[in-house]
Amino acid sequence: MSGRVKRERDSRPLSVRSSLSSRGPQEPGGEGGAPRGLRVKREPADEEPRVKQEPLDEEDDDDEPTVKYGRFDPEDRRSRHCPYLDTINKSVLDFDFEKLCSISLSHINVYACLVCGKYFQGRGLKSHAYIHSVQFSHHVFLNLHTLKFYCLPDNYEIIDSSLEDITYVLKPTFTKQHISNLDKQAKLSRAYDGTTYLPGIVGLNNIKANDYANAILQALSNVPPLRNYFLEEENYKNIKRPPGDIMFLLVQRFGELMRKLWNPRNFKAHVSPHEMLQAVVLCSKKNFQITKQGDGVDFLSWFLNALHSALGGTKKKKKTIVTDVFQGSMRIFTKKLPHPDLPAEEKEQLLQNDEYQEKMVESTFMYLTLDLPTAPLYKDEKEQLIIPQVPLFNILAKFNGITEKEYKTYKENFLKRFQLTKLPPYLIFCIKRFTKNNFFVEKNPTIVNFPITNVDLREYLSEEVQAVHKNTTYDLIANIVHDGKPTEGAYRIHVLHHGTGKWYELQDLQVTDILPQMITLSEAYIQIWKRRDSKEETNQQGA
């Protein structure tokens, strides 16, 4: 036997013999006291390997057995106990960032070092991960794509049930039963670092100026049907997209973020939306950025439409989960007005023309824009402390089918009125706080007084539509607030946790509980309301 092994070693190229012999017998991980130099490993593509030839920076064939003492031992790589598992440092592991090699910046075949948390490419003899393992004596690595663990430089796969929590953090999975119980649970989860958190009520990193996107993402992650759809990757994994379509990246990243936000076994009580935001920057062609403050309503509008389109939805016929949850419809009545400078007689003549008659179109909407009354321009000393207030139902009157509002364009003026014809299961209000002109953006600080529950929108529907709509009562589930100046302000969000029935305020990484009465005192900017179904209405009355 020993003679056969010697002949095999001597027949190999000099570079291989020297690299093996230089490792010496003292390296950990050997079996039966045999010298490490007798164990033949897989080698890079530029030499002649005994088992299989493959390029260095492509996926390794993980089922390929190693050669041990000149013969195949298929069980060798899978059954060996790894002596380095206690060197894993879970406190440094962070899988929220882009899966790029920290040296080559390649996203192909990337491994995470579980000792220091850095990402490296490949695991062959000349790869960055291999060099890192030899240089720093870091031995345990995770393939971020296949979710398999390896010991380097020995290059064998580690099979150990104690590593399952690491793969779950990297790629959380949810069963149908788990998803159906999410809104019934009030149980706190304990992160690896010792902090406790409620799944779903989790802070998001503000990388530089992305709090506007954080607030929207946290609001959408607390809309149950949308959340449930994205928690199950099977729902959208097989949607066919044209070659080179980058917009589907938005869907994948949003699903990943949703699963991380609702993960009951996180290592830390917050999540970084880095990969999600990278996809936003790319798919929006840099209209929305991480380093520059954006507008929450603009981002929400773009994001919902981009998600709908990426899921294969169309404007009219093909629906998606986005339209099922948020899309309603309305009638828009438009009447053209004569130019105000014209003589009265000429105006009257023009109003007889067909062009100036009222026209009606049916239109869908993802959210309703509510207009605030103009804030007073001048205040005396006593009025300095008075902030104007307006009841929610006053600004909702825009949609009662009677109230007319004038809209001016560069050339023409129109009178419009709106009437709702279909109410979606989740209704989004965007309160128009900002007025833009050529010189600056002005913010209206008016406080909107609204009840947290039991907002009935029946009166905003026409009589024939009221007969079809049984349930028209809504309860608030998310309230996004803008504080400060128009261009320098910050966003925060109030969210209802369905399991506990409590309200929480989230501002980037900060998560605090809040009394419902305090929510109505804020400068609400975007709100999401949930329609009650018949069962809930009965329960509310019984309570």
What local confidence, expressed as pLDDT, does residue 67 receive? 35
Cβ-count burial 23-60 (b if 16+ within 10 Å, e if not): beeeeebeeeeeebbbbbbbbbeeeebbeeebebbeeb
The residue with tokens 């989740």 is 426
Q: Establish if 210 belongs to a structural domain.
A: yes
- 534 has pLDDT over 80: no
Number of domains in the chain: 2
Q: Are both 211 and 189 inside the same structural domain? A: yes
Domain boundary, last residue among 259, 290, 323:
323
Q: What would the pLDDT profile of 76-115 be if each residue is shown by its tens digit?
A: 444 457 899 999 999 999 898 889 999 999 999 999 999 9
Is-above-0.85 flag for pTM?
A: no
Q: Are both 112 and 186 inside the same structural domain? A: no
For the chain, first and last CA: distance in Å? 83
Q: Are both 276 and 183 inside the same structural domain? A: yes
Beta bridge partners of 121: 110
CA–CA dist 298, 304 (Å, integer): 10
What number of other Cβ atoms are within 10 A of residue 19's Cβ? Answer: 16
Q: Are both 129 and 176 inside the same structural domain? A: no
Confidence of residue 413 (pLDDT cuts 50, 70, 90): confident
What local confidence, expressed as pLDDT, does residue 358 receive? 85
Q: What would the pLDDT profile of 316-365 be if each residue is shown by its tens digit?
A: 788 999 999 999 999 999 988 887 777 777 777 787 887 888 899 999 99
Q: Are both 186 and 315 inside the same structural domain? A: yes
Confidence of residue 175 (pLDDT cuts 50, 70, 90): very high
Q: Are both 151 and 185 inside the same structural domain? A: no
CA–CA dist 166, 143 (Å, integer): 12
Domain boundary, last residue among 263, 296, 323:
323
- 26 has pLDDT over 50: no
Please check whether residue 271 is in contact with residue 96, taking contact to mean a CB–CB distance below 8 angstroms.
Answer: yes
Q: Establish if 527 belongs to a structural domain.
A: no
Q: Establish if 203 belongs to a structural domain.
A: yes
What local confidence, expressed as pLDDT, does residue 377 receive? 65
Please check whether residue 212 is in contact with residue 296, taking contact to mean a CB–CB distance below 8 angstroms.
Answer: yes
- Average pLDDT of the chain, as a whole number: 82
CA–CA dist 312, 248 (Å, integer): 9
Q: Which of 124-128, 302-306, 348-352, 466-470 has the lowest mean pLDDT?
A: 348-352
Q: Establish if 234 belongs to a structural domain.
A: yes
Confidence of residue 242 (pLDDT cuts 50, 70, 90): confident
Q: 105 — alpha (psi -120 to 50), left (phi > 0) or beta?
A: left
- Residue 138 DSSP SS3: coil
Helices (H), 355-484: 392-396, 463-468
**CA count, 13 A, side-chain hemisphere, 331:** 13
What local confidence, expressed as pLDDT, does residue 49 receive? 39
Q: Are both 247 and 180 inside the same structural domain? A: yes
Q: What would the pLDDT profile of 179-212 be if each residue is shown by its tens digit?
A: 999 988 888 999 888 889 999 999 999 888 899 9
Query: What residues contact residue 361 under an 8 Å CB cut-off, 6+ apart?
Result: 331, 332, 334
The residue with tokens 């990193």 is 205
Task: Give me the CATH number covering residue 104.
Answer: 3.30.40.10
Q: Establish if 61 belongs to a structural domain.
A: no
Please check whether residue 461 is in contact with residue 420, taking contact to mean a CB–CB distance below 8 angstroms.
Answer: yes
Please give the residue range of the domain that contains residue 148: 85-166
Q: Mind spelling out the 3-state secondary structure of 228-251?
A: HHHHCCHHHHCCCCCCCCCCHHHH
What local confidence, expressed as pLDDT, does residue 407 receive? 83
Q: Are both 275 and 151 inside the same structural domain? A: no
Domain boundary, last residue among 323, 346, 381:
323
Q: Are both 176 and 153 inside the same structural domain? A: no
Confidence of residue 383 (pLDDT cuts 50, 70, 90): low
Q: Are both 316 and 296 inside the same structural domain? A: yes
Q: Establish if 63 belongs to a structural domain.
A: no
Q: Establish if 11 belongs to a structural domain.
A: no
Q: Are both 292 and 207 inside the same structural domain? A: yes
DSSP sequence for 367-402: SEEEEPPPPPS---TGGGGPPPEEEHHHHHGGGBSS
Length of the chain: 543
Task: Give me the CATH number covering residue 307.
Answer: 3.90.70.10
211-220 vs 274-283: helix crossing angle, rounded to 10: 100
Q: Are both 288 and 146 inside the same structural domain? A: no
What local confidence, expressed as pLDDT, does residue 73 receive? 42
Please check whether residue 117 is in contact with residue 97, taking contact to mean a CB–CB distance below 8 angstroms.
Answer: no
Q: Establish if 231 belongs to a structural domain.
A: yes
